[in-house]
Amino acid sequence: MNYSVYDVQEFCEDIDFIRWVVSPTEELNQFWNAFLITNPSKSKDIQIAREYIKTLHFQEIEVEEEALTLLKNRIWNDINKPAIIIQWWNRPRYWVAAAVIFMVASFGMFWWNQDRQIYHTDFGQIRKISLEDGSVVTLNAHSSLRVAENLNELKVREVWLDGEAYFDIAKLNGAKFIVHTSEAEIEVLGTEFNVNTRRKKTKVVLHEGKVKLSVDSVQAVVMKPGDMATVLDRKKPIQLKIVKPEQYEFWKQSIIVLNDKSVSEVLEILEDNYGITIQFENPIILNKKLSGKLSIKSSDEFIQNFATILDAEFEKTEKGYFFR
């Protein structure tokens, strides 16, 4: 298939693309990350298609051909309904080029409607967003945030996150602020915390204030500053441990903290946030633990420094980089 000529609708109808969105594997991630590197002009179409598909699938959807076909049909039916506009505030001129408007289904964990705004970042892009209620959200690369309109007038302020973001929540007459992810709901009054929803798990690091983390029937956890909570899915207990919160906000300065991370963990960060794929001749290196910090403001400079740390040589390939 020649994905380089696909538009948003065609991505939404493609079974392999749906499979990647619903249940990504290492092989699928490598393929689509490589495609994005060689076809950067398609990144916006792919992001819109991914976000749309996520509004439709159920959390426990089976990754079988029958289920994927059902999801495809559901997408097709919605595309043919009357349209509403999704607002992309960061690059509105995109709509002139895309001319694609969707009507979104009324079911699923996440959904769009006329009362929601969506903010989006591309690979390598970090964006600071000032919300109507005075809260400030720093959105990490390759992430999206949906926000209810008239946020400062609501008794319950709600946003929906896919990716990673740092929240500085304004206190507003006791009005709750809830961050929804695929795995959990994070309820706050006024505080600062980081949320990461990558790779089918939600991680919350509390910097100051108080946060209540809820996961369906699992017992809720009230977090204290310095706590990191991890939710793997909605049926398992919340994992809690003490961390240094400042280590989890360096990404706002385009810095990757290497402390006690394995090479494989760093590779996941590079793929998730920057669309950079690295393959190693010797897979044993993936388990090596690292320390220190590296700036990634320049991807070329980062790759050079990363290779120096690993005492490796590298070459650029069609799929990314190859280290030996």
DSSP string, 82-95: PP-PPPBSS-TTHH
DSSP state of 134: S
Chain centroid to CA 302: 22
Let me know: does 299 contact 306? Beta carbons within 8 Å. Answer: no
Q: Would you say residue 110 lies in a domain? A: no
Same domain, 127 and 224: yes
pLDDT of 102 reads 30
Whether 233 and 278 share a structural domain: no
Contacts of 131 (CB under 8 A, 6+ apart): 137, 147, 151, 159
H helix runs in 162-203, sequence order: none
Name every residue whose Cβ is closer than 8 Å to that of residue 245 and which is 6 or more positions away in sequence.
194, 205, 206, 207, 225, 226
30 occurs within a structural domain: yes
pLDDT band at 152 (very low <50, low <70, confident <90, very high): confident
Alpha-carbon torsion 180, 110, 146, 8, what sign? positive
**Domain count of the chain?**
3
| Residues 152/134, Cβ–Cβ less than 8 Å | yes
Tokens (6 digits) for 8: 């948003």
Mark whether 172 and 282 lie in a shared domain: no
Judgement on whether residues 158 and 203 belong to the same structural domain of the protein? yes
Give the confidence band of 19 by pLDDT, cuts at 50, 70, 90. Answer: confident
Give me the pLDDT at residue 7, please.
Answer: 83
Task: Let me know if residue 259 belongs to a domain.
Answer: yes
Bridge partners (DSSP) listed for residue 242: 227
Point out the domain boundary residue: 247, 270, 305: 247
* Residue 71: predicted pLDDT: 53
- Asked whether residue 128 is domain-assigned, the answer is yes
Tokens 């600062």 belong to which residue? Answer: 192
Nearest to 116 by CA among 142, 144, 79: 144
CATH classification at residue 170: 2.60.120.1440
Give the Cα-Cα-Cα angle 7, 10, 11 (nearest 5 degrees). Answer: 85
Domain that holds residue 223: 115-247
pLDDT at residue 160 in the model: 93
User: Which of 83, 105, 127 lies at the terminal end of a domain, its last residue?
Assistant: 105
Based on the fold, state whether residues 128 and 217 are members of the same structural domain.
Answer: yes
Neighbouring C-beta atoms of residue 60, cutoff 10 Å:
8
Question: Residue 196 pairs with which residues in a beta bridge?
Answer: 164, 203
| Cα-Cα-Cα-Cα dihedral sign, residues 85, 87, 92, 95 | negative
Q: What DSSP designation does 260 have?
A: T
Same domain for 217 and 295, yes or no, is no
Q: pLDDT band at 174, cuts 50/70/90?
A: confident
Query: Do 235 and 125 share a structural domain?
Result: yes
Q: Domain check: are 227 and 144 in the same one? A: yes
| pLDDT tens-digit readout, 219-250 | 899 999 999 999 998 888 899 999 999 999 99
Rounded CA Rg of the chain: 20
pTM attached to this predicted model: 0.66
